[in-house]
A and B are shown apart, each in its own frame.
Chain A
Amino acid sequence: MKRDEEFFKKIKKAEKTAQYAMFFTSLATILLLLSIYDPTLSIFNSQEKLYEEVVVDEDRIENGIHVRTGLKDGKGLMTVVNNCTNCHSAKLVTQNRMNAERWNETIKWMQEKQNLWQLGENQEIIVNYLVENYPVNQVGRRLTLSNIDWYELKD
């Protein structure tokens, strides 16, 4: 009987050792897979990474366009971004076509009615940027229809 008991004990010990071995092997496998597929362990800290992206990419320019605002890259771009896109969208700027005189009047109007601050030396930089990058197009009294999306009319 004693030998049987000892035998059982040994078996149990062996079982336990095997379990430990299995556990550590699995752990090692997981760590190995992580180190291969996700070395920065980003699945554990996705929140922090999102914030980082915003800060890093804020003023990037792609194909000559300031991505955040859609404004054309050019001399004075950041002065325009910093002074002209706080209250309204840059889309309101780029839709419009004015000469320097009328841009200056518009700035004056925004200062009187819309709480725009004094621009100082930046005003000339801004107006030059606008006149150069968004010049007035002559459209006449009626334009030719353009950008027609031709399609087969059924029925």
Chain B
Amino acid sequence: MLNRRSFVKKSVLSSFAAIVGAEIVFGSNMIDGYTPLALQEPDPFKLFKKNNEMVVLNDKPWNIEAKAHLLDDKVTPNSSMFIRNNGKIPENINADNWKLVINGESVKQQKTYTLQELKSKFKHYTYQLTLECGGNGRSEFNPPAKGNQWTVGAVHCASWTGIRLKDLLEDVGIKSDAVYIAYHSADTHLSGDPSKEPISRGCPISKAMQEETLLAFQMNGKDIPLAHGYPLRLVAGGWPASVSGKWVNTISVRNIVHDGPKMTGTAYRVPCKNVAPGERVEDKDMCIIESMPVKSLITYPKSGAMIKKNKSLNIRGHAWAGELEVSKLEYSIDFGATWQECELEKPTNRLAWQHFSATIQFPKIGYYEVWAKATDSNGVAQPMVVPGWNPKGYLNNACHRIAVKVS
């Protein structure tokens, strides 16, 4: 639990801050040679146990993304998992007295479970679940869209263990007017205002009742790392990762579409009808994102590979399609003029990403780009250009490509 220890240290630091009379700025803002640093873990890569090739987009709140080649594992390890936070990571979490409250208009009665009760009372399930940030790829929209400028690395597929939300809701008893479930969490608002929640989202009852929708307490066989929601996380694969609330302490069963922070306005919504780039869209014409679109990533080799003319090139990667399955994966070395089919594996379980591979022979020396294109089980493929512009820059599922030189 290195993470937890670091945060205890951090609170010691804040008393230092009080003495100094100035806020001690975290991470890359830190002034060189300032030694109380030794008290906390200044290096986010060590703090969160991330690969040091990860890219820090924002350090307050923490937002860190992977690069394509860091996501080569079939099951994503913590070291390559993106972090997306809306608020401040909670401090001083005690899993021993962690409680989950189930409330809302549509529960038959409010009920509270300890974490221990959740673990002992309900059957455990393990699934590999793809979680992609709704804003993954935002950096490519033109005109630019507001928010963290994710490139390709805000996606992962880890193995999650927990109980089915469905089993829990059945134990509580929900009324027939239930429409939506919402999570509430222990993270705190950036402004420090204790009356504000940074984010409280959720999903329709139908998604909540799916077998793969978990209240998870383990990731990749261990306690969930703090930055990913320790000690309890809602995991709803295939939907924008913001549905999968971290540090969950309350689930509300609502008789309306949940109206918490980041559910309304333009947050995690796209225009209900297509709009021209840069067009103004009224809030009432924005629709909530549900299943994520089909997408793929070439994770091997890393972009920039130089090979000899007579050598073939093995490529591999993953593909996912929200609620659907990926039915075909193709690659092109001529900017989409021709496509060749890759080997594509079935998913380990529903909502897990699928692995693809191919061996490429290049006809002559020169500069190439290898493009990958996935097609979902409805026959819908990834576009080669950036898809429909939207005010907040969500759902960019344009084909991924790597640069290769043959000499």
Contact = CB atoms under 8 A, between A and B. Distances in A.
Interface string A106-139: 1000000111100000000000000000001111
B302 A88 contact: no
Contact of B196 (A69, A70, A115, A116): A115
Contacts of B149: 95-96
B140 A142 contact: yes
B324 interface: no
A96 B147 contact: yes
B31 A67 contact: yes
A39 interface: no
Contact of A87 (B24, B190, B301, B401): B190
A141 B387 CA distance: 9
A57 B148 CA distance: 29
B388 to A, nearest CB: 11
A53 B33 contact: yes
A18 interface: no
A44 interface: no
Contacts of B386: 141-142
A88 B140 contact: no
Most B-side CB within 10 Å, residue of A136, A138, A152: A152
Interface stretch (B53-61, B117-125, B236-244): B53-61
A84 to B, nearest CB: 12
A98 B146 contact: yes
B385 A142 contact: yes
A97 B147 CA distance: 10
A43 interface: no
Interface string A33-60: 0000000000000000011011101100
Contacts of A138: 142
Interface residues of A, number: 42
Nearest to A142: B385
A87 to B, nearest CB: 4
Contacts of A9: none
Interface string B1-42: 000000000000000000111101101110101111000000
Contacts of B61: 88-89
Interface residues of B, number: 52
A1 interface: no
A12 interface: no
A105 B313 CA distance: 49
Given A70-B28, A88-B58, A54 B191 contact: no
Contacts of B95: none
Interface stretch (B160-168, B179-187, B303-311, B339-347): B303-311
A57 to B, nearest CB: 5
B148 A68 contact: no
Given A53-B31, A150-B304, A89 B19 contact: no
A95 B148 contact: yes
B28 A145 contact: no
Most B-side CB within 10 Å, residue of A69, A95, A139, A152: A95
Contacts of A4: none
Nearest to A50: B35
Given A58-B22, A149-B304, A89 B59 contact: yes
Contacts of A24: none
A20 B351 CA distance: 84
Contacts of B319: none
Contacts of A151: 302, 304-306
13 contacts: A50-B36, A51-B20, A91-B56, A91-B60, A95-B148, A97-B144, A136-B143, A139-B142, A143-B140, A145-B403, A151-B304, A151-B305, A153-B306
Interface of A: 50-51, 53-55, 57-58, 67-70, 87-92, 95-98, 102, 106, 113-116, 136-143, 145, 148-153
Interface of B: 19-22, 24-25, 27-29, 31, 33-36, 56-61, 140, 142-144, 146-149, 189-193, 196, 261, 265, 301-307, 313, 369, 384-386, 398, 401, 403, 405
Given A98-B146, A152-B306, 17 more contacts: A51-B19, A53-B34, A54-B24, A54-B34, A55-B21, A67-B31, A69-B29, A89-B58, A89-B61, A92-B148, A95-B149, A96-B147, A138-B142, A139-B142, A139-B144, A145-B401, A148-B304
The 7 tightest CB contacts between A and B, nearest first, are A89-B60, A115-B191, A153-B305, A87-B190, A141-B385, A95-B149, A97-B144
